[in-house]
Chain A
Amino acid sequence: MKLKSIDALNELQAQSLKLLETRRIMDSAGSEKTQGPVRHVMVCGGPGCHSSGSPGIAQRLEEELNRLELSEQIKVFQPGCFGFCEKGPMIQIFPDNVTYCEVSSEDVTTIVEEHFLQGKIVEHLLFMDPETKERFAQSIPFYNGQLRIALRNVGYIAPENILEYIAADGYQALSKVLFSMKPFEVIDVLKQSGLRGRGGAGFPTGSKWEFTRKSPADQRYIICNADEGDPGAFMDRSVLEGDPHSVLEAMLIAGAAIGASEGYIYVRAEYPAAIHRLKIAIEQAREYGLLGKGILGSDFSFEIELKYGAGAFVCGEETALIHSIEGARGEPSVKPPFPAQKGLWGKPTCVNNVETLANIPPIILKGAEWFSNIGTEKSKGTKVFALAGKVNNVGLVEVPMGTTLRQIIFDIGGGIKQHKTFKAAQTGGPSGGCIPTKYLDSPIDYESLAAIGSMMGSGGLIVLDEDDCMVNIAKYFLEFTMDESCGRCTACRVGTKRLHEILEKITDGKGTLEDLDNMERLCHIIKDTALCGLGQSAPNPILSTLKYFREEYIAHVVDKTCPAGVCKSLLKYEITDKCVGCSLCVKKCPMHCITGTTKKRHVIDQERCLKCGACMEQCRVVGAIICH
């Protein structure tokens, strides 16, 4: 059914509203309505829950409900990510507004019997605060302090049904742009809103659109950068899987504003589920006349094509990405000319990140002022973070700009795992840096993160604790950038290799103080001379750890110890006089380098010891084998 006018869209929305009615009851602040005529069971289909078996749970639920002939009254959906990955698989029941955590397929019968048939809440599946032991059916602390704009529909609507998106005000922003706004007005709204690119660098989106529009050309292109290569980041993936239409709608808006009739989504081949959802979304949008010629009866035409990445981190850089779409090696080129002047096939091209795009429809609908009231002076709106690492509540978090790290890690994230001590937060992935404890209370935005030697990046936020060696973390990221360096410029290709070599030397216990100075100097040379943003930011993990954790580097090169006990070459296993001579370690040692007679203290041959730690794992006497 092709929608040929704004009225047709509005009519379809009015008809579709009933799809979300059951779920909307939640919005009216936790009304105690437990016996609706229809119930919706939302089984989280986010990457984490999906991996831990949520599709099986949804299937079991459907089977069970079919068996009891309840499938008319109780409907099962698999929306996108709920965000609270730590407690997955999660399910949410509406209108009851009850959330169950860590559900297994064995729990399905209990939920059906107790919740649906007997009408009582299954207590043991509710979220339990680890400290107070209090159970929560709703208002789980993880969600307090969060504000969902980019993720507004993720986990709420069924992503494979365009009608649910339309019911949730979908494509209304597009119709506003097409029928009651001029292109420059759209660009003005974006500029006034203060929206900045969420992919890393934070360039003002409105200005990017304006530059592209002002470049004279017969054809312009819109590209959605969905090449989320940052290790430990899954925000874009969650948007693509949970709300693909919001990205399509934003690309259409961009097309109308910039004067482009073609768009590409460059998505990682490693995200098959996202590709699947995008394909469905594009097909449905075409079916409803929201893509193609004469959209909604206007004279605006737009087509979107999917392009797959092939596993190259550098393709997240816009010029490299453009070369990859053209079918070539994804190597960056020198800017200027910027893609806004000369991009895909030599035409003006606007490249926007997934999360940036997902913010656009609400900005158009609610206005620039609404958006610019959220956030800090120079960073407006919200930011999605993939919170992971040594934190209790791993998950997807969307918070207003200016929220502090402490709020994210301790209030939302529930603090550090196993009550260990917080050491640092790594933001910005391989281009970012490590933020030490003293900055826990500084508000996060583009400027403040840059000022403390890190960067916003795409939104990966990895929490590190006392057991993490900062030299090793820096080495990890350099190994990454060394691997992923495209090889185009010497500074990055050779520079990252040399940096990695020095870090290896240090973690092997062969480093000197001179190495630290050389490394620091090389870092600055690479920063100044690398061709693209990725090369220029590659030394950041080293520079930030050198700045805040220099004493750890010193311990490695001067004292030849690894304070966190991570760098193997610097460890020494020893058997103390507490040893009872049980010989368990002797049997487990892969090198057979532990000797001693039964019931007498054993000895490790340090020359041959691999430092695998197998002896310590086996030992039953506390303190008999020590590692230092």
Chain B
Amino acid sequence: MCEAGTPNQFAQKLDNFIDGLTHKKENLIAVLHHAQEIYGYLPDNVQWHIAQKLDIPSATVYGVVSFYSFFTMIPRGEHVVNVCTGTACFVRGAEKLKEELESQLKIKAGETTPDNLFTLETLRCVGACGLAPVMIVDGKVHGRMQKPQDINEVLAKYRSEG
């Protein structure tokens, strides 16, 4: 879920992005999006670094990071499995799908498998309501996930990819 490269290259990339901005403080959210793309998550030291670069209190950075659900402070697994919990999926069995995934992956929503392969999360509506209930793996939507074996097949595909 993060780009390849050394810590130095990461920091350089982020700095280049920040240096290229005309308005710095106002673009805090854009900077955080960019940082999360690079690092995969937003650990303390990255938040601290951003605060210094933008010349704002680190509490402000933390305040924004913790406010928005898109930002995460814990590293995710290689594949992020999301269960859509939008209303259309909810009435067509999203809860069952989530429970099935929890039992197949042996983790709870919000957790990562010990082998660091899968992180299970929930999100609200991806607009594929016609295919409800849906699960999304690394941005790809898998629809009509009602049977345990179908779910298993999807996971197996990502397992074999590593």
**Once the chains are docked, how many angstroms separate the CA of A267 from the CA of B139?**
17
Q: Which B residues touch A382, using CB under 8 A? A: none
Is B25 located at the chain interface by the 8 A CB criterion? yes
Given contact pairs A48-B129, A51-B134, A395-B130, A310 touches B68 in the complex (Cβ within 8 A): yes
Is B63 located at the chain interface by the 8 A CB criterion? yes
Is A52 located at the chain interface by the 8 A CB criterion? yes
- For window 1-40 of B, CB contacts with A under 8 Å fall at 25-30, 32-33
Given contact pairs A310-B71, A312-B68, A329-B64, A388 touches B33 in the complex (Cβ within 8 A): no
Residue pair B143, A47 in contact (C-beta under 8 Å): no
Q: Which of A190-198, A226-234, A350-358 contacts B (4 or more CB under 8 A)?
A: A226-234
With most chain A CB atoms within 10 A of its CB, the pick from B63, B69, B71 is B69
Residue pair B26, A51 in contact (C-beta under 8 Å): no
Closest B residue to A326 by CB, please name it: B26
Given contact pairs A308-B30, A327-B29, A386 touches B91 in the complex (Cβ within 8 A): no
Residue pair A476, B125 in contact (C-beta under 8 Å): no
**Once the chains are docked, how many angstroms separate the CA of A388 from the CA of B91?**
9
Is A237 located at the chain interface by the 8 A CB criterion? yes
Is B154 located at the chain interface by the 8 A CB criterion? no
A384-397 interface code vs B (CB 8 A; 1 in, 0 out) = 00101110001100
Q: Which of A277-285, A368-376, A460-468 contacts B (4 or more CB under 8 A)?
A: A460-468
**Once the chains are docked, how many angstroms separate the CA of A334 from the CA of B28?**
24
With most chain A CB atoms within 10 A of its CB, the pick from B70, B86, B126 is B86
Residue pair B129, A85 in contact (C-beta under 8 Å): yes
Residue pair A389, B68 in contact (C-beta under 8 Å): no
Residue pair A86, B130 in contact (C-beta under 8 Å): yes
Residue pair B127, A48 in contact (C-beta under 8 Å): yes
Closest A residue to B32 by CB, please name it: A310
Q: Which B residues touch A312, using CB under 8 A? A: 67-69
**Once the chains are docked, how many angstroms separate the CA of A200 from the CA of B19?**
39
- For window 110-162 of B, CB contacts with A under 8 Å fall at 123-132, 134, 139, 141-143
Q: Which A residues touch B130, using CB under 8 A? A: 48, 85-86, 88, 388, 394-395
Q: Which A residues touch B33, using CB under 8 A? A: 269, 308, 310
Q: Which A residues touch B64, using CB under 8 A? A: 327-329
- For window 82-103 of B, CB contacts with A under 8 Å fall at 85-92
Given contact pairs A394-B129, A394-B130, A327 touches B91 in the complex (Cβ within 8 A): no
A86-123 interface code vs B (CB 8 A; 1 in, 0 out) = 10100000000000000000000000000000000000
Residue pair B131, A52 in contact (C-beta under 8 Å): yes
A126-163 interface code vs B (CB 8 A; 1 in, 0 out) = 00000000000000000000000000000000000000
Residue pair B128, A48 in contact (C-beta under 8 Å): yes
**Once the chains are docked, how many angstroms separate the CA of A215 from the CA of B68?**
32
**Once the chains are docked, how many angstroms separate the CA of A317 from the CA of B86?**
19
**Once the chains are docked, how many angstroms separate the CA of A136 from the CA of B104?**
42
Q: Which A residues touch B134, using CB under 8 A? A: 51
Residue pair B25, A232 in contact (C-beta under 8 Å): no
Q: Which A residues touch B60, using CB under 8 A? A: 328
Given contact pairs A327-B25, A388-B87, A47 touches B126 in the complex (Cβ within 8 A): yes
**Once the chains are docked, how many angstroms separate the CA of A573 from the CA of B93?**
20
Residue pair B91, A462 in contact (C-beta under 8 Å): yes
Q: Which B residues touch A232, using CB under 8 A? A: 86-89, 125, 129
Q: How far is the CB of B87 from chain A (nearest CB, A)?
A: 4
Is A175 located at the chain interface by the 8 A CB criterion? no
**Once the chains are docked, how many angstroms separate the CA of A394 from the CA of B134?**
14
- For window 42-82 of B, CB contacts with A under 8 Å fall at 60, 63-64, 67-71
**Once the chains are docked, how many angstroms separate the CA of A480 from the CA of B89?**
14
Q: Which A residues touch B131, using CB under 8 A? A: 48, 51-52, 85
**Once the chains are docked, how many angstroms separate the CA of A553 from the CA of B87?**
21
Q: Which B residues touch A462, using CB under 8 A? A: 87-88, 91
Residue pair B92, A389 in contact (C-beta under 8 Å): yes
Residue pair A237, B29 in contact (C-beta under 8 Å): no
Is A221 located at the chain interface by the 8 A CB criterion? no
Residue pair B128, A389 in contact (C-beta under 8 Å): no
Residue pair A270, B63 in contact (C-beta under 8 Å): no
Closest A residue to B84 by CB, please name it: A231
Q: Which A residues touch B69, using CB under 8 A? A: 310-312
Given contact pairs A231-B124, A234-B127, A327 touches B132 in the complex (Cβ within 8 A): no
Q: How far is the CB of B151 from chain A (nearest CB, A)?
A: 15
Given contact pairs A47-B126, A269-B70, A327-B64, A389 touches B141 in the complex (Cβ within 8 A): no
- For window 8-31 of A, CB contacts with B under 8 Å fall at none
Residue pair A310, B127 in contact (C-beta under 8 Å): no
Residue pair B125, A230 in contact (C-beta under 8 Å): yes
Q: Which A residues touch B27, using CB under 8 A? A: 327
Q: How far is the CB of A325 from chain B (nearest CB, A)?
A: 8
Q: How far is the CB of A278 from chain B (nearest CB, A)?
A: 15
**Once the chains are docked, how many angstroms separate the CA of A27 from the CA of B73?**
53
Q: Which A residues touch B127, using CB under 8 A? A: 47-48, 233-234, 237-238, 271, 386
Given contact pairs A237-B127, A327-B28, A311 touches B87 in the complex (Cβ within 8 A): no
Q: How far is the CB of B41 from chain A (nearest CB, A)?
A: 14
Residue pair B129, A426 in contact (C-beta under 8 Å): no
Residue pair B128, A47 in contact (C-beta under 8 Å): yes
Q: How far is the CB of B66 from chain A (nearest CB, A)?
A: 9
Closest A residue to B124 by CB, please name it: A231
Residue pair A51, B141 in contact (C-beta under 8 Å): yes
20 A–B contacts from the bound complex (CB under 8 Å): A47-B126, A47-B127, A51-B142, A52-B128, A52-B131, A85-B130, A231-B124, A232-B125, A238-B127, A327-B26, A327-B27, A328-B60, A388-B87, A389-B87, A389-B88, A390-B92, A394-B88, A394-B130, A462-B88, A468-B91
Other A-B pairs, 12, CB within 8 Å; known A86-B130, A237-B127, A307-B29: A48-B127, A52-B131, A85-B130, A88-B130, A231-B87, A233-B127, A269-B33, A310-B68, A327-B64, A389-B88, A389-B92, A462-B88
What 3 A-B pairs are tightest by C-beta distance, nearest first? A234-B127, A85-B130, A310-B68
